[in-house]
Structure 1
């Protein structure tokens, strides 16, 4: 049983804005320290950034306008420096940036199937949508779509139970890291994979555990403490580089935020 949301779902819009801000930080310095929270909806965007590099109001507004395709949103930006104790932890070497438990689980055929369905529908209808598959029962909720057309394409599915609808951030609010099941499937734990730099274990160790599980076909369980330099028998710096290459491969943190890990 799995739920998937597309890149225009309000929660994913929040993830994408946060990811774009992290991309911007990486364009300024090689290894920024940054964490971003975004809450948006009903004409308002609230952004909190803890960072070692400055992100201006104008830069944040440009990102919000580009991703939401709206210029009339009221934005509130809180920008603060990273906590000095946390900054000192990373001063001389790449160390684990937070505490956490992590797991990687091989994707099931059902999870892969729903991801393909979600991607296929989004190519035709690039608007807010959510999809659920479990026990051979498919539910499709796709905004701004021809419901009859979708029912014809997916005759055994439950399609738009309330009929045609218009979604987006004027209907529902969005927040970063609120759709971890959609992003990580059974690999989801307490830590969110978006809106942070690669020194954060929530990003790098989650990516590493997921990739290892897919490669080996076996579940992976890991944990770490802030300041650790080794996890799973590897230097933490090596895990960060594995995650860095994965983020580069998918096109950056903003692109990563669109669909998550699958």
Structure 2
């Protein structure tokens, strides 16, 4: 297993970005469009990518559905008054034939993970960075990023950069968060703080930078300590195992963590396009590999078990796909 031992005193760092970060805006647009199709047609095949910035948004991908959705209206709800260029086609018939037969919509390796470091069963540094970001976003609902470094289970450094947040007020808010957070104790005055380190800023979101669906994969998953497997989740219906396989891998990891009273579990599921069963299904429980049994790991089986054919995805694109109480976290 390529994850550091929980007993090691090591530095670990993870970041989080706010829902108004340009990449997250694109993720939310992709998933909002997916939700709109699924609300009308649970069997819709959807793979939508968004790229935006500086007054323009490009929507592309594939949709196969008997229903129509106003994708531009959805995009403007999240992106504002921008020029929209749309290039959306139907799913390739060569891909569709394999999916129609119940097979995976693509090849790939999906990773699931769970550990006992936090109540959400997530890595400590990742949970800290995300919790801080949420706290600050409630005060300043704009573009923003946080980053937390831990050493031996304690916070060693914090980076917080938020649009429209004056330095001194942001510093006070970070201290307030530390006093209320539930993950670690320790002395706040010993933490290395970097508050708006490039200076206070008022230009953010699409006005400051470009965004792209699927560009915050470590934020969407478990942070940089845990290896990444497949591609992005957002904008993809659950016949794409990039999404459904990753969700099922998390579910198995959570189940095995409890079943074996383990400290951490990493799950690997690997698929071949057009085939309904994984070519690998492995759980690594506290460093020991175990086969995965007792689950229907076909795309159809996963969709049924986790109820993935219903609209529910826009919220997943805001603050990560795991540890937020979704069906695959339980």
Q: Normalising by the residue count of structure 1, what TM-score does the alignment of the two structures yield? A: 0.90
* Deviations 1:162-198 (CA, angstroms, capped at 9, x unpaired): 2211211010000000000111022532411111000
Q: Which is helix-richer, 1 or 2?
A: 1
Q: Does 1:102 align with 2:165?
A: no
Contact 2:136 2:173 in 1 (8 A): no
Instruction: Give the secondary structure class of the aligned counterpart of 2:170.
Output: helix
2:271 corresponds in structure 1 to 224
Q: Which of 18, 27, 41 is the aligned partner of 2:53?
A: 41
After TM superposition, the structure 1 stretch with the greater mean CA deviation from structure 2, 9-18 or 135-144, is: 135-144
2:63 corresponds in structure 1 to 51
Q: Does 1:177 align with 2:188?
A: no
Query: CA RMSD, aligned part only?
Result: 2.0
What CA distance in whole angstroms lies between the structure 1 residues aligned with 2:212 and 2:67?
20
Using the TM superposition, give the Cα deviation of residue 212 of structure 1 relative to its aligned residue in structure 2, in angstroms: 2.4
- RCO higher in structure (CA 8 A, sep ≥6): 1
Contact 1:19 1:195 in 2 (8 A): yes
2:137 corresponds in structure 1 to 122
Q: Normalising by the residue count of structure 2, what TM-score does the alignment of the two structures yield? A: 0.72
What CA distance in whole angstroms lies between the structure 2 residues aligned with 1:86 and 1:256?
26
Higher Rg: 2
Where in structure 2 are there 5+ consecutive unaligned residues? 1-12, 115-121, 151-155, 176-190, 258-263, 282-292, 323-330
* Deviations 1:69-106 (CA, angstroms, capped at 9, x unpaired): x22x1110002111011111122x43211100111222
What CA distance in whole angstroms lies between the structure 1 residues aligned with 2:45 and 2:102?
11
Where in structure 1 are there 5+ consecutive unaligned residues? none
2:6 corresponds in structure 1 to none
What CA distance in whole angstroms lies between the structure 1 residues aligned with 2:250 and 2:16?
17
Q: Does 1:261 align with 2:295?
A: no
Q: Which of 224, 240, 261 is the aligned partner of 1:200?
A: 240
After TM superposition, the structure 1 stretch with the greater mean CA deviation from structure 2, 209-218 or 12-21, is: 209-218
Give runs of aligned pairs for residues 1-262 of structure 1, distance below 5 A: 1-53=13-65, 59-68=70-79, 70-71=80-81, 73-91=82-100, 93-106=101-114, 107-135=122-150, 136-155=156-175, 156=191, 157-166=193-202, 167-185=204-222, 186=226, 188-215=228-255, 216=257, 217-231=264-278, 232=281, 233=293, 234-236=296-298, 237-244=300-307, 252-262=312-322
Using the TM superposition, give the Cα deviation of residue 240 of structure 1 relative to its aligned residue in structure 2, in angstroms: 2.2
Contact 1:102 1:221 in 2 (8 A): yes
Instruction: Give the secondary structure class of the aligned counterpart of 2:169.
Output: helix
Instruction: Give the secondary structure class of the aligned counterpart of 1:105.
Output: strand
Instruction: Give the secondary structure class of the aligned counterpart of 2:232.
Output: coil
Instruction: Give the secondary structure class of the aligned counterpart of 2:221.
Output: helix
* Deviations 1:175-228 (CA, angstroms, capped at 9, x unpaired): 000000111022532411111000000010111112322342311112110122
Instruction: Give the secondary structure class of the aligned counterpart of 2:205.
Output: coil
Contact 1:104 1:187 in 2 (8 A): no
After TM superposition, the structure 1 stretch with the greater mean CA deviation from structure 2, 105-114 or 18-27, is: 105-114
Contact 1:198 1:243 in 2 (8 A): no
Instruction: Give the secondary structure class of the aligned counterpart of 2:109.
Output: strand
* Deviations 1:94-133 (CA, angstroms, capped at 9, x unpaired): 3211100111222222222222111111111111111111
Q: What is the number of equivalent residue pairs in this alignment? A: 255
What CA distance in whole angstroms lies between the structure 2 residues aligned with 1:67 and 1:36?
15
After TM superposition, the structure 1 stretch with the greater mean CA deviation from structure 2, 116-125 or 213-222, is: 213-222
What CA distance in whole angstroms lies between the structure 2 residues aligned with 1:165 and 1:243?
42
Instruction: Give the secondary structure class of the aligned counterpart of 1:189.
Output: coil
